[in-house]
Amino acid sequence: MSLICQVQISLNNLSKEKAQTVKKALDPDNVNFPKGLSLNVKNVDNKVVFNFENEDDMKKLISTIDEVLSHVQVALRVIE
């Protein structure tokens, strides 16, 4: 039996331009994920929504979320 975990994180109250810039900044890193791990990033109004999904290895999921949020923090600092 495999365990599948889904995590959704929303960054709210961003301007539409900031939300689009954050998504574009992360697009180059959103490739070649390990087997069983996926990330979908989308803009919805004035927010960026991250949908993570992982099968079995929760440590891998946690470290990926941490890395993505670190990249988001850098992107937001750069554009401010």
Give 4-79's CATH code, choosing from 3.90.25.10, 3.30.310.50, 1.20.970.10, 3.40.50.300: 3.30.310.50
Taking only the tens place, the pLDDT of each residue in 4-62 is: 999 999 999 998 888 888 888 888 777 777 888 999 999 988 899 999 999 988 898 99
> What pLDDT, on a 0 to 100 scale, did the predictor assign at position 1?
65
Torsion of CA 28, 12, 71, 5, to 10 degrees: -80
Instruction: Name the residue ranges covered by the structural domains of the chain.
Output: 4-79
**Order of strands, sheet of 4-11, starting from the edge strand that comes earlier in the sequence:** 4-11, 47-55, 37-44
* Banded pLDDT at 73 (limits 50, 70, 90): very high
Residue written as tokens 């365990």?
3
Residue written as tokens 């919805």?
44
> What pLDDT, on a 0 to 100 scale, did the predictor assign at position 49?
95
Q: How far apart are CA 3 and CA 77, in angstroms?
A: 36
